[in-house]
Chains A and B, each alone.
Chain A
């Protein structure tokens, strides 16, 4: 028994030693900051923050930026306890969460960093749909439509009597919350008789193979699957608008586009590496957000956010 235990222990120690030795040497630059920055929150914002952290490493290699993905709500919970420096959020902070921050004497600033758009899609073989009005989308998705609105001709006269097959993200996702609130109103939800999947690739596949299908998901997924799907514009009273870089960025594609945010703790900005990181974030968010599939805000808007942040530091 003893000998066996020794062998096992030896194997363990050896593995640990090997894994310790792999941290690489880092290059030296002048005016080098050190320290660590803790970020957590929405997985929607994660790709942008990851891209910024990745680029930041080339500028300040000694600052350790770590990012978690416990969701917008989970992120704010930690933020409210002062456990993290920056919170990634796909919606503004809620009153409940503000209350917790106040209780723990945490002051903060919220900065919008990019836009996230939702796309409404049909099969490319669908010849009749030219655009949807918000009311029509509401007719289709409202909880009261369940088991009643089952055919396309019930949505608009003149559309064929074909079965209406719906696809969308599951109720647990932020994308679902956002769509149901924008189209059906607050706390209403949507009908439940649609094909739901947390994996957007499955939704893409579903709509692409279903001639009478209709669905929604993040714009970035459409961009990656342009050839398989037909993008449909949405009319919110001022004509049909198709989501593009331009229409989302200037706010005309409504109501299916939203800003996404980072929230910064005021105690954290006393540390120079955090200030440097946020400045770097705002400076590069435009290019980096586009690179990972989101829509950048206009340059002027980034300047507004930068000014907001500068004021916040002074306080």
Chain B
């Protein structure tokens, strides 16, 4: 075999290896989703969605859990989007390369790696007790917003970086101020990338359990929240509780609740992807 044949062989081998690696993840995921659907799909009906928790597996529903999850996601979104995007814009467009800004940068990347339960403990003292928010949706959303903030900031920065410098230069050349350049040119151009970050962040937030349990999210709540100051429960907590019950029927309930949680995530992602694609079509330099 000559050199070029060996290289071709290597190329082919790596190609198959890559396919294999991709498939492992997909096959396992497909298997899990399949078994969840097999277990839980028949359990989902209108009653399941509109009933309160119950000791009887067949009567138990997840009304308060899914409504709570949606409240939490919306408020997390409202808090994290302006904070994260603004911080990203500041760091990328305004901040000068100083020791302070590099310190902030290092800290943000570190924050992304802090275990979620630590955020829970921090929030318990700050939001729940010091700020007097109690075990409310607002406290829960603030906690999750902190947790996913680094994701949004990092994604925003990457998206801003991807905007070609010539766009900024052109804008300045026409006499636009820095703010006008960012708001009218750079931000719209990077919107797609930012939205991808937000999708990732929110998907992570919707599945979190540990920090919410720490700040005092409940399990049994017989009413749906009507304001951000109400107490709440979320789907992952209910799922965890059902799985740990000895009766097998509760496992079916858990599977059904997992399907719903997946559905919520998919719908949210779908909405975000829709906006992203719509936005990207508009950009024509």
Contacts and interface: CB of A to CB of B under 8 A. Distances in A.
Q: Are A and B bound to each other? A: yes
Given A1-B187, A4-B279, A54-B55, A64 B50 contact: no
Given A4-B279, A64-B222, A22 B63 contact: yes
Contact of B246 (A19, A43, A218): A218
A12 B241 CA distance: 29
B244 A66 contact: no
A283 interface: no
A87 to B, nearest CB: 13
A40 B55 contact: no
A67 B224 CA distance: 14
A8 B271 CA distance: 10
Given A19-B224, A47-B55, A66-B220, A1 B188 contact: yes
Contacts of B70: 15, 19
B217 interface: yes
The majority secondary structure among interface residues of chain A is helix
B246 A224 contact: yes
Contacts of A49: 220
A46 B225 CA distance: 21
Interface in B170-187: 183, 187
B38 interface: no
B223 A223 contact: no
A221 B245 CA distance: 8
A15 B71 CA distance: 9
A221 B213 CA distance: 25
Contacts of B222: 53, 57, 64-66
A293 B275 contact: no
Given A11-B271, A64-B223, A69 B213 contact: yes
A295 interface: no
Contact of A292 (B50, B52, B55, B224): B55
Interface string B42-83: 000000001011110000000100010011001001100000
A299 interface: no
A46 B246 contact: no
A295 to B, nearest CB: 13
B108 interface: no
A305 to B, nearest CB: 21
Interface string B200-231: 00000000000001101111111111100001
B216 A66 contact: no
A173 to B, nearest CB: 10
A70 B121 CA distance: 12
Interface string A44-59: 0011011101100100
A251 to B, nearest CB: 23
A84 B271 CA distance: 40
B133 interface: no
Given A22-B67, A199-B243, A293-B246, A70 B214 contact: yes
Contacts of A15: 70, 74
Contact of B50 (A22, A40, A43, A199): A22
A209 to B, nearest CB: 17
Contacts of A67: 218-220
B266 to A, nearest CB: 16
A163 interface: no
A199 B237 CA distance: 15
A23 B224 contact: yes
A78 interface: yes
B248 interface: yes
B109 interface: no
Contacts of B219: 46, 50, 67-69
B244 A199 contact: yes
Nearest to B63: A22
A200 B187 contact: no
A220 interface: yes
A288 interface: yes
Contact of A291 (B55, B223, B231): B55
Nearest to A221: B246
B218 A293 contact: no
16 contacts: A1-B183, A8-B275, A12-B74, A15-B70, A43-B244, A46-B219, A46-B241, A47-B245, A51-B55, A66-B220, A68-B217, A68-B219, A69-B241, A198-B244, A293-B246, A293-B247
Interface of B: 50, 52-55, 63, 67, 70-71, 74, 77-78, 135, 183, 187-188, 213-214, 216-226, 231, 237, 241, 243-248, 251, 271, 275, 279
Q: Across the A-B interface, give the 5 residue pairs with the lowest CB-CB distance, nearest first.
A: A67-B220, A51-B55, A220-B246, A221-B246, A68-B218
Given A19-B71, A54-B53, A66-B221, 19 more contacts: A1-B187, A16-B71, A16-B74, A20-B224, A22-B50, A47-B245, A50-B220, A53-B220, A54-B54, A66-B218, A66-B231, A67-B218, A70-B213, A199-B244, A200-B244, A200-B246, A201-B251, A218-B246, A293-B247
